[in-house]
Structure 1
Amino acid sequence: MRSCPLNCTAVKQQFRTCSRITKDVNQMSRGYPCQSILPGILPDYDPNDNEAGMKILEDLTENVYQIQQRVLEEIITRNAHTEYLEGFLNGQYEKELFERKVPVVNYEDIKPYIERIANGESSNIISAEPITELLTSSGTSGGQPKMMPSTAEDLHRKTFFYNLLVPVMNKYVDGLDEGKGMYLLFVKPEIETPSGLMARPVLTSYYKSNNFKNRPLNRFNVYTSPDETILCSDSKQSLYCQLLCGLVQREEVLRVGAVFASAFLRSIKFLEDYWKELCSNIRKGHVSDWITDSSCRKVVSLILSRPNSELADLIEHECSTKSWEGIIKKLWPRTKYIEVIVTGSMAQYIPTLEFYSGGLPLVSTMYASSECYFGINFKPLNKPSDVSYTLVPNMAYFEFLPVKKNLADTEKEAVETVDLVDVKLGQYYELVVTTFTGLYRYRVGDILMVTGFYNNAPQFRFMHRRNVVLSIDTDKTNEEDLLKAVTKAKHLVELLGFLLIEYTSYADTSSIPGHYVLFWELTNKGSNDLLVLDPKIMEECCSTVEESLDSVYRRCRRKDNSIGPLEIRVVKDGTFDALMDFCVSQGSSVNQYKTPRCIKSEEAINILDSRVVGRFFSQNAPSWEPF
């Protein structure tokens, strides 16, 4: 047996109170003796072996405290001499010193270190392991995407995480090995930084990696979409080809989905627009000439293979009906569930998904971000409103900042962090992570509520993002950015003698794609004359707001077409007084009331809509460059 680099003897002494760990360490006979449970060394197992997968999950969730301690020890030991940690720890390794000396930080605090690496300095600024790429977050900083460090090892950690989803789904859904998944997956724009490192979204990173391309075929990895269609940089061609492949293989499809609910619904809308052309391709056995990506044409032609009038007629019959209610089940009759993220801001799409689904379960399997992959949904068939995620303790070291219920900004909470094993049922917390990739005590910005426990592992419900008021797709607009954008736009109407008295907003997802709606109450300066609004000026106000929003919004709006044109609805005088009256009637304090910058209540939106005197839309997509 090879010697273990993690010193199992020391580990057994340190954690001798945990009989399960000691037993497993003693029983291992191949490889490193502690490989099955100690963090930092990810177990290698057959993802189709449900028993092995569940055994790993049981180990991870039973030994949470020990694993978390080991994770932190390993991260500090590896990185104690990086520039960042050396400045706080002076090369020492104790957990107590780490928690006392290393500050809890936001992105702005670590941004200079990451920018230095992007500009060519050594990874050792923050990580002993080489930084191999930078993952762009949908959260923004100064109007630009945040960049999170990543290493080669982190890709293996993500693959391990994805594999853990397999035994969980197999526990609840039978026969997943008898067909394929129609998952609509896409890559997004990436750039090369001055250092030569690529900066790209986390899923683009994974789809372009060898871990994805060379993945072993198992029940979760057999897709109707060939890799060439997923990796196509033209999103329109990619989606068309993936839908065409999914329709041709409709009898093999057992599950459908996309990463986000918004992306899946955009795909359905695309299908509504292109089903006649797709049927024509199937009937003729020929791919449309506008599909010019050679890799896509070649691989899709192999799947299309021959004319199929019978299939084209069937799809035409289903798609030509007046209502598309239940269309997913009609087009893909063997489908067992729809897999999309429907928690957080994606919950707004649940009613529309249910309309199209034909009663299929909506499954959110995992909780992850650019910073780290966090947790798994151990009851995937639960209703979306009941979804909780169990944090996987060897993914990172987790801490939590206590948050008062409904408190939007935890900056005001001067409290100490709580360890993963010490969180309390029913309490709200902001997630703080220390990762293997160079983030130390980093505030993710997610507000979670503890809903229960799986073995010794806490389960959390995602409540909302800190400070985010608007979101349609991967965009996250906070109150400060919205205020800056509105402030720039209102100068245009002030030049005409109008004043912006008050404003609020909401994310309108009643159409696909959804779009931002701003309610403005305007008045004439120094007079009570009736408002006469210039449509061109108001449309320019819409465009100014859009140009002032961050890079992620502008990309979604211009490049991805995943957000529709921003709308300003001008309301008549006294509307916001009526809104205040409504909020007070619902329990708000008159003395402490302030206008909410985002409205979620359907009743409140109806109050505002009933007083609209003018509606205006942005006529041009905003400018956008990757960085």
Structure 2
Amino acid sequence: SGTTEGRQKFIPFTRHNPETTLQIYRLAAAYRSRVYPTRSNGRVLEFIYSSKRFKTRGGLMAGTATTHIFASEEFRIKQEKIKLFTCSPHEVISNGDYKQTTYCHLLLGLFFRKEIECITSTFAYSMVQAFSSFEEQWEDICEDIKEGNVSSKITLPKMRKAVLDIIEPNPSLASRIEAICKGLQGSDWFGLVPKLWPNAKYVYSIMTGSMQHYLKKLRHYCGSLPLVSAEYGATESWIGVNLDPSLEPEKVTFAVMPTFSYFEFIPLYRQDQYSGSGSVDFIEDDPVPLSQVKVGQEYEIVLTTF
């Protein structure tokens, strides 16, 4: 964690982390299914990525929080509980090569295009980058689907084998996708997502904070397909869940999950004048517990993990 400051820091990852992740996944999925019902045992096109883990001097396994989550038993259980299964096997998610993983995500997502119920990523920019790369690679992907093969650009043996074990030649599907892509080229790829994945009900990702910068381009690709903002969290702990998936990302609100960590809130009061850097100066007050939070007041969140 700690990439906001440009440098990483080590944070303990305990059983509490994947357990609360499973809880918030299930809770959020229940609310989403009320608004956007999906078919049981459908598939999800997930643009998710794991980096390689390593051992510290003390012998502890270290890696990003998402890497630990995607390798956990809870990630497998999550799919069974919400009855939606990712297109890509673990060998694709965990190989550590971003470009090759993205290509295989797209290839498998299109191979199962009629089964895709929703499209997700951890952060919105991952989907924007994936769809942008698709504009350049769609012909190669169509060729792979036609032949039941994997492009020579995919060089990692385990990933190649995992994908080849899934796909098979499908010339009619390749021709259909090719025709759609030729039509999309004339419209600057507007509405790419609903045209390629006609049964997708929504697009789901973290879209708040710095991810809002990607919403314009994401909406271009998604057309009228709903964008659903994912849960509010930090590397240290999940914080809140989106209980109203129908709200646009710019208007989303989150319900704090008080059992995930101990939360305190530092009241912030904006000063009238601005600093020389153009940023707003704040005056901080003493922190208050969740029970004393007031509507309309701005706060900085402080959390203590259990």
TM-score, normalization: structure 1?
0.45
Partner-residue secondary structure (3-state), 1:147: coil
Q: Which residue number in structure 2 is paired with residue 251 of structure 1? A: 114
Partner-residue secondary structure (3-state), 1:340: strand
Q: Which residue number in structure 1 is paired with residue 143 of structure 2? A: 280
Conserved 8 A contact 1:286-1:301: yes
Matched residue count: 296
Which deviations, in whole Å up to 9, do the C-alpha atoms of 1:152-200 show, x marking residues without a partner? 2332222222222221112211234252111111012444322122332
Which deviations, in whole Å up to 9, do the C-alpha atoms of 1:397-451 show, x marking residues without a partner? 11100012487455x52x2111101111111000011111xxxxxxxxxxxxxxx
Which deviations, in whole Å up to 9, do the C-alpha atoms of 1:195-214 show, x marking residues without a partner? 12233221111012232245
Conserved 8 A contact 2:145-2:173: yes
1:370 aligns with 2:232: no
1:317 aligns with 2:182: no
User: Using a 3 Å threshold, how does the CA distance of structure 1 residues 191 and 227 change in structure 2: closer, same or farther?
Assistant: closer
Please state how far the C-alpha of 1:374 moved relative to its aligned partner.
0.7
1:419 aligns with 2:289: yes
Q: 2 CA distance for matches of 1:177 and 1:213?
A: 16
Conserved 8 A contact 1:137-1:148: no
User: Using a 3 Å threshold, how does the CA distance of structure 1 residues 397 and 256 change in structure 2: closer, same or farther?
Assistant: same
Q: Which residue number in structure 1 is paired with residue 299 of structure 2? A: 429
> Alignment partner for residue 186 of structure 1, among 42, 49, 56?
49
Which deviations, in whole Å up to 9, do the C-alpha atoms of 1:548-597 show, x marking residues without a partner? xxxxxxxxxxxxxxxxxxxxxxxxxxxxxxxxxxxxxxxxxxxxxxxxxx
Query: Of the two, which has the highest radius of gyration?
Result: 1
Q: Which residue number in structure 2 is paired with residue 494 of structure 1? A: none
Q: Which residue number in structure 2 is paired with residue 327 of structure 1? A: 192
**Structure 2 unpaired stretches of 5+:** 272-278
User: Using a 3 Å threshold, how does the CA distance of structure 1 residues 196 and 408 change in structure 2: closer, same or farther?
Assistant: farther
Q: 2 CA distance for matches of 1:409 and 1:207?
A: 39
> Alignment partner for residue 161 of structure 1, among 20, 24, 33?
24
Q: 2 CA distance for matches of 1:208 and 1:376?
A: 23
Partner-residue secondary structure (3-state), 1:393: coil
Q: Which residue number in structure 2 is paired with residue 205 of structure 1? A: 68
Conserved 8 A contact 1:255-1:337: yes
Q: Which residue number in structure 1 is paired with residue 221 of structure 2? A: 356
Q: 1 CA distance for matches of 2:214 and 2:4?
A: 20
Conserved 8 A contact 1:139-1:146: no
1:343 aligns with 2:213: no
Mapping of residues 59-74 of structure 1, within 5 Å: none
Q: Which residue number in structure 1 is paired with residue 131 of structure 2? A: 268
Conserved 8 A contact 1:213-1:227: no
CA RMSD of superposed structures (Å): 1.9
1:237 aligns with 2:107: no
Q: 2 CA distance for matches of 1:159 and 1:409?
A: 38
Partner-residue secondary structure (3-state), 2:40: helix
> Alignment partner for residue 397 of structure 1, among 254, 259, 262?
262
Q: Which residue number in structure 2 is paired with residue 291 of structure 1? A: 154
Letter in 1 for 2:261: A
Runs of 4+ deviating beyond 6 Å:
none
**% identical aligned pairs:** 34
Q: 2 CA distance for matches of 1:175 and 1:239?
A: 24
Letter in 2 for 1:274: Q
Please state how far the C-alpha of 1:216 moved relative to its aligned partner.
5.5
Partner-residue secondary structure (3-state), 1:279: helix
Q: 2 CA distance for matches of 1:352 and 1:192?
A: 39
TM-score, normalization: structure 2?
0.90
Conserved 8 A contact 1:184-1:225: no
Q: 2 CA distance for matches of 1:372 and 1:256?
A: 24
